[in-house]
Amino acid sequence: MKRLQNKVLLVAGGGADGPPNKGETLAIGNGRAIAMLCAREGARVMITDRSLASAQETAAAIVAEGGVAQAMEADVSSEAACRAAVEAAVSQFGALHLMVNNVGIVYPLDDFSIDTADYDRLMSVNLRGQFLMLKYAIPEIVKAGGGAIVLNSSMAAIRGGGATYGPSKAAINSMVRGVAVRYARDNVRCNAVMPGLINSTLARRTGGEGRDAAVAPLIPMGRQGTPWEVAHAVLFLLSDEASYITGTEILVDGGFCANINLAPLPRLSR
């Protein structure tokens, strides 16, 4: 039996905003990889994205593989859009068991000279958007008998993150713990993934193709991660294999945060 068989999953931010990697026919970001991998494991997936075309592209890829998926446009900074996304998942598939909120934005300038309007926009998406998706998803997951939630945090939550991005992600980690404790007796688990430097569509769009060579020496494993590696961590947290795991965060960073000096480690083995 597949790991998410008979489960309904809502993935917010399930599109991919950026260029494909070399050799890819389909651009893959964290949200798209999560949606596709979970569909392969039996989940029926409602995919939302601020770009309807991008969400539809993910849904089409799932259907082409024999999975079940629907797409809709939703900007998590809008309360009405968050409510509509949850309602659409329940209406289309009859229930909601699982939710992943992969939405987040970052600005190249992230110090205290940032424009206040940009600060407000980032917090509206990165933090308020998480709150709004939880606000409407949790009652439906409880109604379905319980399930699991994974929020998208970042290693920036614990290893420096500027004036806006890191603090927004640190708040998500706190939110995860609050949800986990409050809804544990309702059989709802809530955890976060904290990706490190991932070779995703967002990274290529903002950092260019040369980022891997620039950052690889800082990572003990010697390379950036892939969206599929993030997706596998999310799949584990959504599955019954993680049935006694709630209120915590999983780093997916190739050892970056364990490397205190942020310098290349000596090669200890061949």
40 vs 218, which has greater pLDDT? 40
Q: What pLDDT digit, counting tens, does each position of 53-90 carry?
A: 999 999 999 999 999 999 999 999 999 999 999 999 99
Structure confidence at residue 211 (pLDDT): 73
Contacts for 55 with CB less than 8 Å, ≥ 6 apart: 14, 15, 47, 48, 49, 71, 72, 73
44 vs 25, which has greater pLDDT? 44
The CATH code of the domain that includes 165 is: 3.40.50.720
Structure confidence at residue 260 (pLDDT): 65
Q: How many structural domains is the chain composed of? A: 1
Residue 265 lies in a domain: no
Residue 26 lies in a domain: yes
Residue 264 lies in a domain: no
Which whole-number Å values give the CA distances from 9 to 177, 210, 229, in the listed order? 21, 35, 19
Neighbouring C-beta atoms of residue 98, cutoff 10 Å: 27
Domain enclosing residue 54, as ranges:
8-251
Q: Which residues are catalytic?
A: 165
DSSP designation for 126: I
Residue 27 lies in a domain: yes
Residue 89 lies in a domain: yes
Q: 131, 143 in Cβ contact below 8 A?
A: no
Which whole-number Å values give the CA distances from 62 to 74, 88, 114, in the listed order? 19, 18, 39
Q: How confident is the model at residue 186 (pLDDT cuts 50, 70, 90)?
A: very high
3-state class of 80 per DSSP? helix
Residue 258 lies in a domain: no
Residue 19 has pLDDT above 90, yes or no: no
Residue 205 has pLDDT above 90, yes or no: no
Q: 5, 82, 89, 77: which is closest to 46 by C-alpha?
A: 89
Residue 185 lies in a domain: yes
Q: 131, 174 in Cβ contact below 8 A?
A: no
The torsion angles phi and psi of 114, rounded to 5 degrees, stand at -60, 145
Residue 73 lies in a domain: yes
pTM: 0.93
Q: 137, 151, 142: which is closest to 190 by C-alpha?
A: 151
